[in-house]
Amino acid sequence: MVLINTLHTNDDGRCDAPVLQGEDYASGVYQLHFHAGDYYRARGVQLPEPAFLDVVVLRFGIDAGQDHYHVPLLISPYSYSTYRGS
């Protein structure tokens, strides 16, 4: 596994720039690591120790022939869902 990028989401929960750009935007299998426990703790949410969801890892494949991918994560301290957005 190779770390390609590290980003923080803005106040709207989005990245201000694409995660993959230029030569990094290539077909392959990728992982996004969402540090949900840190996110909730920074906002004063009381979580059990250990947190039920601490780091959420999404593993997915992309075809660089596509224009772009939007990978939303809908999350609460106890559940999450994701999908390929538009």
Model confidence pLDDT, tens digit, residues 31-49: 999 999 999 999 999 999 9
Q: Which pLDDT value is given to residue 86?
A: 80
Q: Which pLDDT value is given to residue 30?
A: 96
Residue 13 CB burial class (10 angstroms; 0-12, 13-18, ≥19): exposed
pLDDT above 90: residue 11? no
Nearest-angstrom CA–CA distance, 2 and 22: 16
pLDDT tens digit sequence for 46-79: 999 999 999 999 999 999 999 889 999 999 999 9
Domains of the chain by start residue, with CATH:
27-82 (2.60.40.180)
User: What H or E segment, with its residue span, contains residue 81?
Assistant: strand 79-82
- Residue showing tokens 């999908």: 83
Nearest-angstrom CA–CA distance, 63 and 29: 9
